[in-house]
């Protein structure tokens, strides 16, 4: 976000805060957009204020007509973090107390069954091109298989460039994942073959900088809203019910499903989880073991027949289900 994006008395501090968040590894796109709106709000209603006062903040957090609790919480979060940032710099700033925060919505990841996955991927394979994306029918089957088969985050998949996809070895190089972590992700031979076919059909003249899962042969990047729109359509066509915004299934649940299915298979095959869990941690690009351990609880809760085996090895480590793990 450039300097001219902000115009209130807090402009320089907002820029510094966003720079700080990105420097420690966050993309911070949604938060930056909310703070840009907050900056406009301050300019419009509190233009003479030089301090982030209680009056400004409580005005900002007033619930708007028809606004959901979730949307309100999304608006509050970045402003609260910004106030803490100012406070840490030694400036007076009103930090929204915990009691003012709306109750967090608890989302339990949706784990697809094998039957649902088969139906879903059947629909991706049956899709046709659109005027706005003439290679949609070639990209979508590969995109959603990468999300499930490799456990990629949406942003990691859409950011892949041709040079990041080694079609000889079948290995993806994911640059700038969460917290700017890079990693190498091997694919199955079947998925590698699909990527080779996509490269041959779409990228025969592309250079290494072209986006592998783009919207055209020129390699323009695929937008998140396009991914989500197609996901919802494929769910509908596959007969999988969607609960609406925030109720899932979500695109990110393909990553959750990948992790749970890996653990289930390893338990059923009698693998040593103490040796395999670090592999899953690395594969998923997790920073902390507790992020990966979360999937142990999901696996145990969803498949009671293996609960005893999971808890025997990691009973003291697996957390209880709860909270939103949608961006791990």
- Read off the CATH number of the domain in which 188 is found: 1.10.443.10
pLDDT of residue 204: 86
For the stretch 141-184, pLDDT in tens is 999 999 999 999 998 999 999 999 999 999 999 986 565 668 89
Residue 247 covered by a domain: no
Q: Are residues 95 and 138 in the same domain?
A: no
pLDDT of residue 1: 41
Q: Are residues 90 and 141 in the same domain?
A: no
- The better pLDDT of the pair 130, 21 is held by 21
Helix (H, G, I), strand (E, B) or coil at 166: strand
Q: Are residues 138 and 54 in the same domain?
A: no
Q: Are residues 192 and 307 in the same domain?
A: no
Domain residues for 185?
Answer: 114-237
Strands 171-174 and 165-166, bridge-based pairing: antiparallel
Per-residue pLDDT band at 244 (split at 50, 70, 90): low
pLDDT of residue 246: 60
Q: What's the domain count of the chain?
A: 3
pLDDT of residue 268: 82
pLDDT of residue 34: 93
User: Cα(89)–Cα(83) distance, rounded to whole angstroms?
Assistant: 10
Per-residue pLDDT band at 264 (split at 50, 70, 90): confident
DSSP secondary structure letter of residue 214: B
Share the mean pLDDT of the chain: 84
Given CA atoms 121, 126, 132, 133 in this order, what sign does their dihedral have?
Answer: positive
Residue 109 covered by a domain: no
User: Cα(6)–Cα(39) distance, rounded to whole angstroms?
Assistant: 6
Mean pLDDT for the stretch of residues 281-300: 75
Return the percentage of the chain with pLDDT > 90, whole number: 46
For the stretch 63-113, pLDDT in tens is 888 887 778 888 999 999 999 999 999 999 999 887 777 665 666 788 899
Helix (H, G, I), strand (E, B) or coil at 130: strand
Per-residue pLDDT band at 328 (split at 50, 70, 90): low
pLDDT of residue 307: 61
Q: Are residues 213 and 119 in the same domain?
A: yes
pLDDT at 273 over 90: no
- The better pLDDT of the pair 259, 139 is held by 139
What DSSP element (H or E) covers 171?
strand 171-174
Q: Are residues 199 and 261 in the same domain?
A: no
pLDDT of residue 68: 79
Q: Are residues 199 and 127 in the same domain?
A: yes
Q: Are residues 87 and 124 in the same domain?
A: no
Nearest to 328 by CA among 183, 200, 154: 154
Q: Are residues 168 and 193 in the same domain?
A: yes
Mean pLDDT for the stretch of residues 235-251: 82
Per-residue pLDDT band at 140 (split at 50, 70, 90): very high
pLDDT of residue 310: 61
* 157, two tokens: 């998949």
pLDDT of residue 23: 83
Q: Are residues 118 and 232 in the same domain?
A: yes
Per-residue pLDDT band at 323 (split at 50, 70, 90): very low
Last residue of a domain, one of 100, 127, 147: 100
Q: Are residues 82 and 132 in the same domain?
A: no
pLDDT at 254 over 80: yes
Helix (H, G, I), strand (E, B) or coil at 151: coil
Q: Are residues 174 and 64 in the same domain?
A: no
Mean pLDDT for the stretch of residues 263-280: 82
User: Cα(188)–Cα(205) distance, rounded to whole angstroms?
Assistant: 25
pLDDT of residue 170: 95
pLDDT of residue 223: 86
Name residue, tokens 């869990």: 277
| 51-60, 104-113, 126-135, 199-208, range with greatest mean pLDDT | 51-60
């Amino acid at each position: 976000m450039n300097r001219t994006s902000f115009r209130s008395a807090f402009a320089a501090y907002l820029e510094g805060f966003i720079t700080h968040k990105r420097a420690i590894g966050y993309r911070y796109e949604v938060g930056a957009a909310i703070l840009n709106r907050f900056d406009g709000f301050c300019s419009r209603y509190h233009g003479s204020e030089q301090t982030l006062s209680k009056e400004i903040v409580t005005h900002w957090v007033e619930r708007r007509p028809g606004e959901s609790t979730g949307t309100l919480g999304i608006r509050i979060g970045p402003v609260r973090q910004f106030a803490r940032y100012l406070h840490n710099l030694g400036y007076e700033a009103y930090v929204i107390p915990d009691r003012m925060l709306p109750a967090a919505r608890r989302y339990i990841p949706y784990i697809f069954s094998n039957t649902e996955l088969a139906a879903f991927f059947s629909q991706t394979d049956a899709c046709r091109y659109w005027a706005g994306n003439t290679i949609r029918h070639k990209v979508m089957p590969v995109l959603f298989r990468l999300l499930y088969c490799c456990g990629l985050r949406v942003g990691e998949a859409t950011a892949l460039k041709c040079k990041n996809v080694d079609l000889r070895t079948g290995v993806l190089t994911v640059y700038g994942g969460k917290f700017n972590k890079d990693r190498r992700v091997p694919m199955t031979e079947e998925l590698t073959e699909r990527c080779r076919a996509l490269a041959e059909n779409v990228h025969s003249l592309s250079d290494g900088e072209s986006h592998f899962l783009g919207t055209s042969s020129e390699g323009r990047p695929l937008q998140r809203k396009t991914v989500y729109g197609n996901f919802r359509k494929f769910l509908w066509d596959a007969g999988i019910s969607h609960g609406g915004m925030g109720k899932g299934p979500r695109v990110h649940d393909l990553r959750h499903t990948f992790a749970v299915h890996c653990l289930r298979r390893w338990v059923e095959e009698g693998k040593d989880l103490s040796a395999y869990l670090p592999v899953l941690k690395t594969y998923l690009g997790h920073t902390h073991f507790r992020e990966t351990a979360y999937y142990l609880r999901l696996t145990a809760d969803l498949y009671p027949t293996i609960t005893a085996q999971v808890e025997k090895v990691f009973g003291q480590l697996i957390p209880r289900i709860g909270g939103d793990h949608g961006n791990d």
